[in-house]
Every structure is written in C-alpha cells, then in structure tokens.
Amino acid sequence: MSLYRIIIVDNRFDDYKEERDVLRKLSTKISICRSVDEDVVAKSIKESDAVIVNLAPITENVIEAMNKCKVISRYGVGYDNVDVEAATNKGIWVANVPDYCVEDVSDHAIALLLACIRKTAYKDRKIREGFWNLHKKQPIHRIKGSVIGLVGYGAIARALHRKIAGFGFKEVIAYDPYVSEEIFTKYNVVKVDFESLLKESNYISIHVPLNEKTRGMFDKREFKKMKDDAIIINTSRGGIINEDALIDALKNGEIAYAGLDVFETEPLPKNHPFLRLDNVILSDHTAYYSEESLVELKAKAALNVLEVLRGNSPIYPVNRPTK
C-alpha cells in the first residue's frame, strides 16, 4: 500500500485528532507546516500528496512547486486564499467545507444584530465608566415592523431567516442572483434587486463569498443609498466592505451602526479607526466557532482528502481539474 504524505499548512489547532482518525483508513504520514511564508510553504509541500490549509496563501507559486499533490482542502467555507485557477490548470482538486458552521455563523450574525439594535456593548462600556441614562446618546428602535435585507441567500442566510421568524419583521427581503425563484418562494422571502435592498432595509446582513464581483460591494455609493438608521452586519469576508467608506458613513451619520466579525486586515491593527467608534461592535473572525463546529470542520476537511486519495472526487469540490 502506498504511503501518502499529507501536509497541514498554517498550524492553528491544538491537535489533529479528527484528521488522523479519518485519514488512518489509508496509509498516511501527516506533517505540520507552521509557517505562512510563501517560500517556506512551497518547500514543505513540494512532495506532498495532499494539502489541508487554513488561512495561509496557496498562491500560484506555491502550486507550481507541487510535484504530485492531488487535492488542496481548505478548512472553512471561503477559499479566496487558494489560487483555484492555478490548481485547476495543474490538475489539482480544490475543496472546502461549506456546511460546517451554518448554525454558528447565523447565531453570531443575530448576536451582532441584536447588540447593535439594543446597544448592549455600548451600554456595558459606559456603565463601567460611571455613566447612566444612556438612551439619549444612542436611540433604540423597535425590531417589530422593520425590514431586514439579506445579501446572499445561501445556507447561512436561510438559517438566520429561520431563527428570526418570531421577531415580527414587516418583511424579509433578499438579493441573490444565483438563487432560483423557487427557493425564494419556498422560504417566503421577497426577492429584490441590490438597489432596492439598500434603500428599503433597516438592517442588512451580508452572506456572500468574497470574489471579484463582491469585493468592495459596499462602498460610498451604497452607504449613501441606505437609511440613516440602518445597521449593517458582516460575518462573511472583510473585503466585501470598503472599510474607509464604512468609517465615513458611520462618522457622518449616513448609517447608524455596524456589527463586524471580519476585516480587510486581520488581526485588526491596533490603531484602526473602528476601535475609536462607539457605533461599531467588533468580534475577532470567530462567527464560525463553536466546539462542535471545529470537530465537524476538521473531520470534513480530512474527508475531502480521503476521497481524492481513494480515486474519487472530494465531498465538497470547488473546481474540476483539467488534467
């Protein structure tokens, strides 16, 4: 039996029990590359049969260095750190795990939304500083009768929709050109174009991947079209929002609040303007996280590899190799 060499790049977990449990069904040797440096990564994966990666960039140069890799399996939903075109041209599968954190991300989006609406983080900070009677500083509006707009209507947005069913929204609207009319009808959500969603929504929650079409999707023009009491929530990718435009919109009162789990640069720089704004709630790119979601993520990322090494397609293919 062949011995397959598997490299896990970008060491972010305390252990790899789930991966080893899955991959012991084949004869494998699992190694950890603890660097995100392109040259170091390229050298470490040169003779690997499979790569499992977190956030380290798997660039065209890294892929060109691969002599016999069959699959790159990404820990997570997004795969913008992997050059999919280069992998496809080299005959390498790219796979992700799109369904491991549906419940967790939708929970987190709701948590950010409610914290923005009810101003709980702001009140907590100010009360600890000795303030009271804070409602005049940051007015609160009732949820019932408002409109929430979902940008993207995939699995996470649908889970969020299910969970907010009892909040009394006047309307749940969504923009997603890739979802069929049948799905919108099935889930009782109103399909709108992007411009209408911006103008009509009291709250906007973003649930699209980061790609060429969505990068900078929210810019100065978009914020100017939103209601001045609007709240925006982003648990997808930081690059979907132009942060400079959002900062201006928050400072100038073009929109009211933002709840952000993701940023253009992570970790967030210590001098970032978001840190000085009272109408932003921040979390550290952990919407995906629960103890349960991590177990599922790690096992499924390894299952992608297992299937390819057995001669099959990965469970969650992103591409179809040309070779």
Catalytic amino acids?
237, 266, 285
CA distance 104 to 288: 5
Helix (H, G, I), strand (E, B) or coil at 213: coil
Helix (H, G, I), strand (E, B) or coil at 27: coil
**Backbone phi, then psi, for 6, in 5-degree steps?**
-120, 130
Distance (Å) of CA 166 to CA 156, 169, 189, 223: 18, 8, 14, 28
Alpha helices in 230-290 (DSSP H): 243-252
Q: CB of 71 within 8 A of CB of 304?
A: yes
Residues 6+ apart with CB under 8 A from 45: 7, 9, 33, 51, 62, 65, 66, 69
Q: CB of 18 within 8 A of CB of 295?
A: yes
Q: CB of 63 within 8 A of CB of 41?
A: no
CA distance 97 to 106: 16
In the block, tokens 């640069």 appear at 265
In the block, tokens 């709108």 appear at 192
